[in-house]
Structures are given as structure tokens and as C-alpha cells.
A and B are shown apart, each in its own frame.
Chain A
Amino acid sequence: MTSANLSLTAAGDSLGRLGRKAAWMRLFRRHAQWLFCLPAIVFVAMFFGYPIVQNVVMGFQEYGVSTFYSGEAPWVGLANYVTTFSSHLFTTTLVNTALFTIGSISFQFVIGLALALFFKRAFPLSGFLRSLLLLPWLLPLIASSAVWKWMLDQESGVLNQFLGLFGVDPVPWLVDPTLALIGVIGVNIWLGIPFNVAILYSGLQAVPRELYEAGSLDGAIGWKAFRHITWPSIRSVVSVVLVLGVVYTLKVVDIILGLTGGGPANSTQTLATNAYNKSFVEFNFGEGAAISNVLIVVSLVFAMVYLSISRREAHE
């Protein structure tokens, strides 16, 4: 009993030592893991965390020209949000943001998908044409918007001159408040197509060829093949494209500022351009922050959707 006991304690002792060592190793490993993550954490905290927190804080302050010199930004509670929500402009910008985002995304996606499917087939010059298609993506946004502004000009724009050949009267693309938003969305669609084509095309490449071969035996060709094979196979890519597209489009400012500056008569003003105007034209950073916080919340909703999609994908 005692000897057994002794040996047991000895075993327990060595086990304990082993266990302690293992625990220490585990601890070390866990900390080492954190150590490897540390640069990333510091980076995210500095360049994403701090500005967002600062922006949220600024939304509750009166942050104007004086703040820069005096360093004083008095707390104003919800005043910035009250002004934002009670402004006539808020509904306009909200509706415009929704129209701009939905309009841009739906057309970008449908056209992008059609082009991706088109380029999936092998034909001469397909690679060359595909790379040409990427051009809009490579141009600086401010340059594209300047060129488009010139092309959409009512009197001397190339688009109206072309339409004139068919007897169409000059269209006031960027001048008429009802058309300006359509004009701006049109340019943004043109800009967004390459992104959609690129991602969807790579998604299509990942669909196994055998599926189509097997499907064709069962009579799944053409539209049926797309419905029953292509679409289910690329569904996760599609949701990623759509969610990322929405988040990108919500915060578009350069295109709108370059084309119309939010005008005429605020007809192309979105949450993003309004936040920009409040902050960098009127130097009312508090109100600008309040508006962009609204935008952050909207974007966050879509970011969550994106996260849950990608997590589900990882589990599959």
C-alpha cells in the first residue's frame, strides 16, 4: 500500500512536473501566437480602430475651425444627430444613397456576370479583350469622372452628339435634377463592371468541368446548365461580390464630386458626399462625423452579412 502509494506519488510527481511543463509550453505557445498577431493588432488598432473611435466621439462634439487652434471641442450631446436627422437634406441623401447603391450594384452585377459567362468560352482574343475590360478599374477615379463630365455635357458632349445622329434632342444628363442621378449611376456602373467580371470570372473557373459533362448527359445545357449547375456553384462568390459591392458603393464620393458635386439642387447628394461637404467644405467636422457614423452603421450591417457568409463557407 505504502510502496504502491509511494510509486503513485512519484508517478504523480513526475506527471505533475510533466503537466507543469506542458502547461508552461501551452502558455508559451498561446502567448507566442499573440506575439505573432501583435503587429497586425497594433496596425488595425492604429489605422482602423482609432479613426473609427475618434469619428464616433467627434459626432458628439462641436468640432469646427476653432477646434484646430484651441484644441477645444465642446460636447454637444446628440445635437449633431438632431440637426442631421431633422435636415430636409437627410431624406434626400438617404433616398439617393439607396437608389445609387441599388442601381449601381444591380446593373454592375448583371452586366458583369453576362460578360464573365461570355469570356468563359474560349475564343480568339478573349484574353486580350478581358484585360481591356479591366481598364476602367485602373484609371484614377478623378480622371474618369472628368472625362465623363465632358462626354455627358449637354451642348458639346460626345454622347449627345451621337444621340443627335438619331434625331434625339440634347439630353441634360448632369443638369436636370431628375436625370443627374441616372447619369452618375451610369458612370458608376461603367466603373464597377471590371470588379464584378474579375471576381465572377474566377468563380466560374472553379466550377468543375465534369459537372457540365455529367449534366449534359441529363439534358442540362444552356439556360438549364446555368440554373442547375453554374448558379448553385458560384452562389457564395455571388454573395461576396454583392456584399463587397454594396459596401464600396455606399461610400463613393469622388465620382459624384467630380461629376456634379452633389448637384444640381442636391439631386445627387448622398450620405457620403454630404458628410464630405459638411466636413471639408463647411469645416463642420462634428456634423460630418455624425453623418458618416450613420454610414458606418449601414456598412457594418453589410459587413456582418459578409462575415457570416465567409464563415459559413469556411465550414463547408
Chain B
Amino acid sequence: METARKRRGKAPKVAVAAAALLPLTALTGCSGADPADAEAKNTLTIQDYYDEAHDPIYQACAKSIGVTIEINHVPGPGLIPKVLQQSSSRTLPDVLMLDNPDGQQIAASGALSPLSDYGISGEGLVPSVVKAGTYDGKLYGLAPAVNTLVIFYNKDLFQAAGITSPPRTWDELRATAKKLTSRDRYGFAMSNINTYEGTWQFLPFMWSNGGSEQDITTPETAQALQFLVDLQNDGSMSKSSVIWSQDDVIDQFIAGKAAMVVNGPWQIPTLTEQKDVNWGTFTIPTRVASQAPVAPLGGEMFTVPRTGDKAKMAKSGQFVKCLVSSASQLQSAEVRQNIPADPAVAQKFGESSQTVMPFVGAVRNARSRTGILGPGWPKAATKIYNAVQIALTGLAPPAEALRQAQGE
């Protein structure tokens, strides 16, 4: 008993000693042998918030340009804090993925190198993708595949209510939602939470009606906000939408507690697993049928941070070039159920599936969030979700809510 306890007590010390020695041996290994050194020079580090499903695409590109890669998947919310730490300690990865609205702020900090250095222009891609990656006239990041918002609807509920075609205008959407609302079900659901997620969900209504983030106190934006308030007052949208995230909303949909929900294609894999939910998608309606639907552009861009190692940065540039090629676009789109950034590739991709087609059209007209304000976007985004919250919680009517939020 006694000896066993002693031995157990000693084990951690041995481990610590071994751990302390490890870097030493690693160091000697590095300085001594040339091949290992060459290998380190030929290894690119990649950082993203995806998962293993994306690895084959990276591996294929690594193979095509003759490098080995080290992939580091970081949980979504942890990526930017990590990037900031890496910026200050000069340990940024060779290839960095960023959520597209974050791209401008990171580019503005000077941590990224322009993609033109590597002969990448973004020609042929959807204009908003290029716009999202451009800061101060230079291209810093490109997204192989992008996404946007549409409405997912429960086909069985539509059929039971005798609705044959999806709504095209706000009035039709309001009427449809009312028809689908029952004692234990809301006709319509979306996330109006007090985060950037809430802003992103409001944008299709605001933008399609001609609203702009430069000045949110316009009648067009007020109209859009009024529409959401109407849906809530009708009882068609839960008052809880102000604390629901997009994932909460899709849970409501899957549980049959919401008949139509605003959400993105990244939910398709989850929805496909739900065998008892018969679902379809349609484009988010506009106020009047003649308006063109404008949805916000989502998706992740790839960038080449300034690591100081010119040779490696050139390799990283080649790697990014491969990631945004048509073949990789198609693969990325399949993995994440996103839409290829090249309209021609997207068209081909859309033809493969009925549910994907509404997204293809939406992406072509999608607008990047940072397109007008650049690094000033987060501030505007905060104002927008605040206004939505003030109006939906009944603290002020829409126009007044927008004025209050604008002044903040």
C-alpha cells in the first residue's frame, strides 16, 4: 500500500522532468539534421474553425503545390481572440481562415498580406465575395464557398393548411404565418438576439427594402422593423425571438414548434438527419414583388498573414489560390452545404439539388456586410440589433427605436 502510494506520488515528477527535456531533444533534433529543417520549411500551418470534414480539401491542395500541412481547428468563437494573441506574439499561421465580416478589421491591423502579391485577383467570383475581402482597395481574402439566408418551411404543415405556393411578399408571408400559427406552434421564427447574429438575420428585410447601414433612421428600415413587430403582434412570431440564437430557431423548427424559419444552408446536414421533418426552402420575400431580394453574404475567407517568411508566404499564396479554384469551390460547397463563389460553378452545383437552388440565386445578389463601412461595420451592427430589440420588446415604436439606437 505504502509503496504503491509512493510510486504514484513520484510518477508526475517523472512526467514533468520528461516534459522539460522534450523541447531540448526536439531542439537538438532540429539543429542537427538538415532534412527535418527542410521539412519544417516546407510545412504550412492552417488555422480555421471548421472540422475534420474539410481536411481532404486542404490535403489535396497541399499535394498539388508540394507542401505538407498542419491543420489547426479552433472552436468558432475562439478564433478571433486567438488571432489577436497570435498577432501580438507574431505566431500567426501561414494560412488563416476568417469569417468574412472580421476580414476587414484584421486587414486594417496590417496582419495580412495582399493576395495580389501571389497573383490572385478574385476575377470571375461573385462581386460581393471580392468586396468582402477587399480593404482599402486591396484584396486580402477570398471565400471559396459562401452562404446566405433563406426561409426553411415545413412542407407537411403547408399542405395541411392548404398553402400551395410559398409567399413572395411581406403581406403574403404575414398571412401565411398567421394561417400556420396554432396554440402550440408559431407560423414564423427567426433570431432577433442581441448579438451580431440578430443583425445578420434582420439584414434581408432591411436591405431588400432599400435600407442602409450608413443611416438606419430611414423610413425603409423602419418599414422592415415594423414588419417584424407586426408578425410578433399577430402572434405569428414568438416574443422569445429576442433571446433565440439561429440554432435555437432551427431547434424550434425541428420540434415542430415553428412552421417557417429564417436560417442558412449550414443547417442542411442537421435537417437531412431529421427523417420526420419534410422541409423545403424559399427565398426571403420582399415588401413588394417588384423588389429584388438582397440577403447578406456569409461564409469564410482565406488569407495569408504576414509571417515574415517570404518563401513560405509565397507557398501560402499558392495554397489559397488552389483553395479558391473551381474544383475546390465545388468540394467546399459540398462539405459545408455552401454555394460556390463562382456563379458558373454555383449554377452547376445548384442543378444538383432542389433545396440548394434558392440559395444560388440569393448568393448572386447577396451583399457583404463590410462592403460599405469596412472596419466600421461592428459598430453599425450593434446599433441595428439594439434597434430591433428595442422595437420588439415594445420599448419604442420602430422609427423611434432606430433613432434611439442610431444615437448610441
- Which A positions have Cβ atoms within 8 angstroms of B? 65-71, 87-89, 153-155, 172, 174-177, 260-267, 280-283
Contacts and interface: CB of A to CB of B under 8 A. Distances in A.
Given A70-B110, A71-B88, A262-B194, A177 B105 contact: no
A174 B375 CA distance: 32
A65 B239 contact: no
A66 B404 CA distance: 29
A136 B242 CA distance: 28
Contacts of B404: 88
Nearest to A149: B243
B111 A69 contact: yes
A263 B382 CA distance: 12
B49 to A, nearest CB: 17
Given A68-B111, A263-B193, A264-B194, 18 more contacts: A65-B84, A65-B106, A65-B375, A68-B84, A68-B85, A70-B110, A87-B408, A154-B238, A155-B257, A175-B242, A176-B239, A261-B195, A262-B194, A263-B194, A265-B386, A280-B81, A283-B84, A283-B105
Interface residues of B, number: 34
Nearest to A265: B389
Interface in B237-266: 238-240, 242-243, 257
Contacts of A89: 408
15 contacts: A65-B108, A68-B111, A69-B88, A69-B109, A88-B404, A88-B408, A89-B408, A155-B240, A175-B242, A261-B195, A264-B392, A265-B389, A265-B390, A265-B395, A282-B379
B393 A265 contact: yes
Contact of A175 (B85, B239, B386): B239
Nearest to B238: A155
Contacts of B85: 68
A70 B110 CA distance: 7
Contacts of A66: 108-110
B239 A154 contact: yes
Contacts of B308: none
Contact of A283 (B80, B382, B390, B408): B80
A71 B89 CA distance: 10
Contacts of A175: 239-240, 242-243, 393
B80 A261 contact: no
A89 B407 CA distance: 11
Nearest to A87: B408
Nearest to A89: B408
A280 B87 CA distance: 16
Interface string B109-126: 111000000000000000
B378 interface: yes
Contact of A65 (B105, B193, B379, B395): B105
Contacts of B193: 261, 263
Interface of B: 80-81, 84-85, 87-88, 105-106, 108-111, 193-195, 238-240, 242-243, 257, 375, 378-379, 382, 386, 389-390, 392-393, 395, 404, 407-408
B190 to A, nearest CB: 15
A175 B375 CA distance: 31
Nearest to A88: B408
A68 B109 contact: yes
Contacts of A87: 408
B408 to A, nearest CB: 5
A280 B195 CA distance: 12
Contacts of A261: 193-195, 243
Contacts of B84: 65, 68, 283
Contact of A177 (B106, B393, B407, B408): B393
B88 A264 contact: no
A93 to B, nearest CB: 12
A259 B242 CA distance: 12
Contacts of A155: 238, 240, 257
A282 B382 contact: yes
Contacts of B242: 175, 263-265
A263 B191 CA distance: 13
A69 B105 contact: no
Contacts of B87: 68-69
Contacts of B195: 261, 281
A153 B243 CA distance: 10
Q: Which of A69, A263, A281 has the largest number of chain B CB atoms within 10 A?
A: A69
Contacts of A280: 81
Nearest to B242: A264
Contacts of B395: 177, 265
B393 A70 contact: no
A263 B395 CA distance: 13
Closest 6 CB pairs of A and B: A263-B194, A66-B109, A265-B389, A68-B87, A69-B87, A264-B242
A224 B393 CA distance: 49
A176 B375 CA distance: 33
B110 A264 contact: no
Q: Which of B85, B106, B379, B393 has the largest number of chain A CB atoms within 10 A?
A: B393
Q: Which of B108, B194, B392, B408 has the largest number of chain A CB atoms within 10 A?
A: B194
B100 to A, nearest CB: 15
B307 to A, nearest CB: 12
B109 A264 contact: no
A69 B84 CA distance: 7
Contact of A172 (B81, B105, B239, B386): B239
B407 A264 contact: no
A123 B182 CA distance: 53
A14 to B, nearest CB: 54
Nearest to B375: A65
Nearest to B239: A175
A177 B393 CA distance: 7
B276 to A, nearest CB: 19
A176 B80 CA distance: 32
Given A69-B109, A71-B88, A87-B408, A176 B393 contact: yes
Contacts of B88: 68-69, 71
Contacts of B375: 65
A265 B242 CA distance: 9
A69 B109 CA distance: 6
Contact of B386 (A68, A174, A266, A283): A266
A177 B386 CA distance: 13
A260 B379 contact: no
Given A264-B393, A265-B395, A174 B243 contact: yes
A177 B394 CA distance: 9
A69 B111 CA distance: 6
